[in-house]
Amino acid sequence: MKNKVLGLFALSVMVLTLFVGLTSALSVTQVSQFNNITVSFGSETATVNFNLTNNDGVDYDNLVFVPSNTPNVGSWSFSLTNISNGIVNFPASATLTFPKTFAGNITSSILVNDTIAGIPTGLLTFPLITVFVVGGPTELSDCSVTGNSSFIDLDIETPNVKGFGEDNDWYPLDEIEITVKVDNKAGEDLDNIAVGWGLWDLEDQSFVIDDEEKDFDLKKGKKQDVVISFKLEDPSDFEEDHDLVFLVWANGEGKDTDAQACASEINGEIDVQIDEFAVLDNFQYPETVQCTEDVTITADLWNVGDEDQELVYVLVTNKDLGLDQERIDIGDLDAFDNAGINFNFQVPLDADEKIYPLKFGVYSEDIGGIYENSLNDDKAEFTVLLTVKGGCIVEPDVSVEASLVSGGKAGEELVVEAKITNNGDKTATYSLETSGFSAWADSANVSESTFSLAPGKSRTVTITVDVKDDVSGAKTLDLEVLSGGELIFTQPVRVTIEGVEPGFLSTITGGVINQDNQFLWIVGIVNVVLVLSIITVAVRMMRRS
């Protein structure tokens, strides 16, 4: 019995000795300073290199690194899972991965374990590791101090790009629209949620563009879309080797508890393209114009690349308006510089009332053609929509020449000859009708009212007008040309009607004495009667004497 006890005691001493060896013989040697790892904002990772030594007399095949971070940001990954006995200064590394939006310090305590017969055993404690994430917007560092980031969830949707860019690849002068979904997960209503945003340059550690949207309240469990719109207005703000990120943050407070909350999110990296390319921007022109109107269109032409451009010019095209690659010479254009263009033209007299697309293309004699970008080979072409409305005189496809052949007196027939010509480029069938004569004529008959004409051909017809008896002076007869049942042209014909000479018989119209001459006839008859009476009396007196 005593021997068994002594044996167990010896075994316990050996296990204890082994345990002490295990806890003291595995050691770490720092290669980089554990407590002074500095990375720039937006880096997303920080790596520490170290050496492990194993003089424990056993192999470790299941090393487990157990980190604890303050604050609770980021996670570690380790390059080492086993180390054999007798290894001295075995190189290894650990990498901390954290959100790109984090700014501040992360302190980490790391414990190394192994498993012996399923029992976790602490082998080694690393010196404290501190990662300094320097730079970044103060808004984000303030946000991390406010905390309660789980109260607000932010989701940035894919940008909508108006211009030459797409998704996260943008061009200077592009107009960007980004929708951010704000989700209240606080368990209570949130008030005064203010959404701020910005385009951050990781190299310069500064905002290129930043702003804040109007605040709002949001009930618990509800979501709201915040639409953010901005323009990359100044091409010189961007450099080819600079990485950009789009950041958004939201501050709010609990309606019931006054608890402060802040969350932030990042939309990956934004690549602003710096090409040998040119962009027309800030077009100014009237919304609507009329025929024969003088139109002025102005714009800014930008060299959005970091190299000077030579022999630059613009071609303007819209053949319907008589613009066949009208040239505007610009000359040389320095990198990230702009020049104004001024284009003038007159709207043609025969322009239809509609919207005309005017195409502006930017060319260079130095590159031998139109500019194309490197992202998707889009050409430097821009469209201005010009609306022509009102005041237009459209040249008709048919013309009418009319002349008086005979007549022109009241109570007689009047004959007009009309020559109709097809000015179009297709054979057409025409109908000729008359109107506007009812006040001075009883009828107007056309010798041939319907006929077809080939392009450039003419047809002469006569119009016989039955003029009323009691009219005189200038009169108008309208000749109306129809095609396909629609009135396409009206030609007024002016004629002068000569009235009937005064006379007794001519004063009777339908058995009624004309009232204009009635008084004169009565006076005349009375005078004749008086003269005859005087003569009769004189003759009688002469006979008596």
CB 141 within 8 A of CB 147: no
Q: Confirm whether 287 is domain-assigned.
A: yes
pLDDT tens digit string along 440-488? Answer: 999 999 999 899 999 999 999 999 999 999 999 999 999 999 998 888 8
Whether residue 252 sits in one domain with residue 150: yes
For residue 112, give the nearest of 70, 81, 91 by alpha carbon. 81
DSSP 3-state of 490: strand
Q: Confirm whether 150 is domain-assigned.
A: yes
Task: Tokens for 434, please give them.
Answer: 């008359």
Q: Which residues pair with 299 in a beta bridge?
A: 341
CATH code (residue 210):
2.60.40.10
* CA 235 vs CA 274, 279, 337: distances in Å: 9, 10, 8
Beta-carbon contacts of 446 under 8 Å, excluding residues fewer than 6 positions away, are 432, 433, 434, 461, 462, 463
* CA 427 vs CA 88, 109, 422, 460: distances in Å: 102, 94, 8, 17
pLDDT tens digit string along 3-58? Answer: 433 343 333 433 333 333 334 468 898 877 788 899 988 888 999 999 999 998 88
Whether residue 380 sits in one domain with residue 283: yes
Q: Which of 249, 272, 295 is the last residue of a domain?
A: 272
What gap in Å lies between CA 189 and CA 220, rounded to an integer? 5
Whether residue 380 sits in one domain with residue 453: no
- With a cut of 70, say whether residue 498 has pLDDT above it: yes
Whether residue 264 sits in one domain with residue 190: yes
What gap in Å lies between CA 195 and CA 248, rounded to an integer? 7
Continuous segment of H or E residues that includes residue 18: helix 2-25
Whether residue 318 sits in one domain with residue 246: no
Task: Tokens for 150, please give them.
Answer: 């789980």
Q: Confirm whether 542 is domain-assigned.
A: yes
DSSP 3-state of 503: coil
What gap in Å lies between CA 228 and CA 148, rounded to an integer? 24
What gap in Å lies between CA 87 and CA 28, rounded to an integer? 12
Lowest mean pLDDT among 230-244, 351-365, 530-544: 530-544
- With a cut of 90, say whether residue 310 has pLDDT above it: yes
- With a cut of 70, say whether residue 91 has pLDDT above it: yes
Specify the pLDDT at position 57: 86
For residue 130, give the nearest of 103, 102, 105, 98 by alpha carbon. 105
Most confident of 145-154, 172-181, 236-245, 258-267: 172-181
Lowest mean pLDDT among 43-47, 101-105, 460-464, 524-528: 524-528
Whether residue 314 sits in one domain with residue 201: no
Specify the pLDDT at position 529: 60
- With a cut of 60, say whether residue 120 has pLDDT above it: yes
Lowest mean pLDDT among 26-35, 97-106, 374-383, 521-530: 521-530
Whether residue 35 sits in one domain with residue 60: yes
Q: Which of 497, 517, 534 is the last residue of a domain?
A: 497
- With a cut of 90, say whether residue 429 has pLDDT above it: yes
What gap in Å lies between CA 360 and CA 379, rounded to an integer? 11
Lowest mean pLDDT among 191-195, 377-381, 509-513: 509-513
Q: Confirm whether 349 is domain-assigned.
A: yes
pLDDT tens digit string along 164-198? Answer: 999 999 999 999 999 999 999 998 999 999 999 99
Specify the pLDDT at position 243: 85
CB 455 within 8 A of CB 438: no
In the structure, what pLDDT confidence band is assigned to residue 202 with cuts at 50, 70 and 90? confident
Q: Confirm whether 393 is domain-assigned.
A: no
Specify the pLDDT at position 521: 47
Whether residue 427 sits in one domain with residue 357: no
For residue 477, give the nearest of 491, 459, 456 by alpha carbon. 491
What gap in Å lies between CA 495 and CA 516, rounded to an integer? 25
Continuous segment of H or E residues that includes residue 142: helix 138-146
* CA 396 vs CA 458, 491, 534: distances in Å: 15, 12, 75
Edge to edge, the sheet with strand 278-284 lists 278-284, 294-303, 338-346
Q: Residue 532 — φ and ψ, nearest 5°?
A: -65, -40
Beta-carbon contacts of 262 under 8 Å, excluding residues fewer than 6 positions away, are 142, 143, 144, 146, 147, 148, 149, 152, 249, 250, 251, 252
Q: What is the mean pLDDT of residues 148-175?
A: 93
Whether residue 309 sits in one domain with residue 214: no
The domain tally of the chain equals 5
Helix residue ranges, H only, 365-472: none
What gap in Å lies between CA 417 and CA 457, rounded to an integer? 17
39-48 burial, b if ≥16 CB within 10 A, otherwise e? bebbbbebeb
CB 159 within 8 A of CB 261: no
Whether residue 283 sits in one domain with residue 264: no
Q: Is 130 exposed, middle or buried (0-12, 13-18, 19+ CB in 10 A)?
A: middle
Q: Confirm whether 431 is domain-assigned.
A: yes
Continuous segment of H or E residues that includes residue 397: none
Mapped to the 3 state alphabet, what secondary structure does 212-247 carry? ECCCEEECCCCEEEEEEEEECCCHHHCCCCCCEEEE
Domain boundaries, position 297: 278-388
Specify the pLDDT at position 397: 84
Whether residue 143 sits in one domain with residue 268: yes
Task: Tokens for 201, please give them.
Answer: 């340059």
Beta-carbon contacts of 138 under 8 Å, excluding residues fewer than 6 positions away, are none
Q: Which of 236, 255, 272 is the last residue of a domain?
A: 272
- With a cut of 60, say whether residue 544 has pLDDT above it: no
Q: Over the chain, what is the mean pLDDT?
A: 85
What gap in Å lies between CA 259 and CA 72, rounded to an integer? 20
Q: Which residues pair with 370 in a beta bridge?
A: 363
Q: Confirm whether 437 is domain-assigned.
A: yes
- With a cut of 90, say whether residue 394 has pLDDT above it: no
pLDDT tens digit string along 226-256? Answer: 999 999 999 989 988 888 989 999 999 999 8
Whether residue 382 sits in one domain with residue 290: yes
Q: What percent of the chain has pLDDT over 90?
A: 57
Specify the pLDDT at position 1: 41
Biggest alpha carbon–alpha carbon distance for the chain = 215
For residue 371, give the nearest of 473, 273, 518 by alpha carbon. 273
Q: Confirm whether 154 is domain-assigned.
A: yes
According to DSSP, residue 376 is labeled T
Lowest mean pLDDT among 97-101, 346-350, 352-356, 361-365: 97-101
Task: Tokens for 166, please give them.
Answer: 């797409």
What gap in Å lies between CA 336 and CA 279, rounded to an integer? 11
Q: Which residues pair with 444 in a beta bridge?
A: 465
